[in-house]
Amino acid sequence: MSGTAKFSAERSSLPGVLVIRPRVFEDARGFFLETWNRRDFAALGIEADFVQDNHSRSRRGTLRGLHFQRRRPQAKLIRVLLGRVFDVAVDLRRGSPTEGEWFGLTLDADERAMLYIPAGLAHGFLTLSEEAELAYKCSAYHDPGDEGGLLWCDPQLGIDWPLEPGSRPLLSDRDRNLPALEELAFRFEPEES
């Protein structure tokens, strides 16, 4: 990261999914960093118009996801405020070279990296610490009637969740009963250029 850049971005294995590292200013008092700056993110290729911020708290072993919205897909900018999570994106864009593939990484409050997930992907996470708090920006408003999802343990996806040996995640009833990729007829259509 250059001396004046506030953010750096690393590409992931999925097109458009970026790991964002903010520049952190630390001294004896603590730290300061920017978490969003429209101009600087546009320079990284992120043009999302975020309209909603969400904040969740989860206990160890909680798995939330894999979620998406069908008609109003959401781009997300995710960061961990407390604790550690394993965060996952699954590509559901029809015709994408990585359609049906996943990318995951550990996000940690101490490391302060963020994950940008463009619209057209499912998202989920597993809480690795005693508790974790996530804050994430969304580019479309949440619509309960527009929700979709994928089964977290779908063998076709083969997500390597870092679960403790012999343990099962804490799931909502909804997440426990989501369809596998093979059963999901829905895919996001490519954007017209």
**Within-domain flag for 192:** no
Q: Is residue 61 part of a domain?
A: yes
Question: Could you list the residue range(s) of the whole structural domain that residue 179 is in?
Answer: 7-183
Catalytic residue among 55, 67, 123, 141: 67
Asked if pLDDT for residue 1 goes beyond 60, the answer is no
Contacts 24+ apart (CB under 8 A), 180-184: 180/150, 180/151, 180/154, 180/155, 180/156, 181/90, 181/100, 181/150, 181/151, 181/154, 181/156, 181/157, 182/154, 182/156, 184/92, 184/148, 184/150
Residue 32 within any structural domain of the chain = yes
pLDDT, tens digit, for every residue of 37-53? Answer: 999 999 999 999 999 99
The predicted-structure confidence for 125-172, as pLDDT tens digits, reads as follows 999 999 999 999 999 999 999 999 999 999 999 999 999 888 999 999
* Torsion angles phi and psi, residue 183, rounded to 5: -85, -10
Q: Does some domain include residue 175? A: yes
| Burial track 54-72 (b if 16+ CB lie within 10 A, e otherwise) | eeeebebbbbbbbbbbeee
| CA angle (65, 67, 69) in 5-degree steps | 165
The reply to whether 188 falls in a domain is: no
Q: Does some domain include residue 190?
A: no
Q: Verify whether residue 141 is a known catalytic residue.
A: no
In a domain, 130, yes or no: yes
In sequence order, the 6+-apart residues with CB closer than 8 A to the CB of 169 are: 61, 62, 63, 126, 152, 161, 163
136 is catalytic: yes
CATH number for the domain that contains residue 101: 2.60.120.10
Whole-prediction pTM? 0.93
For the chain, the domain total comes to: 1
Catalytic residue among 116, 136, 141, 142: 136
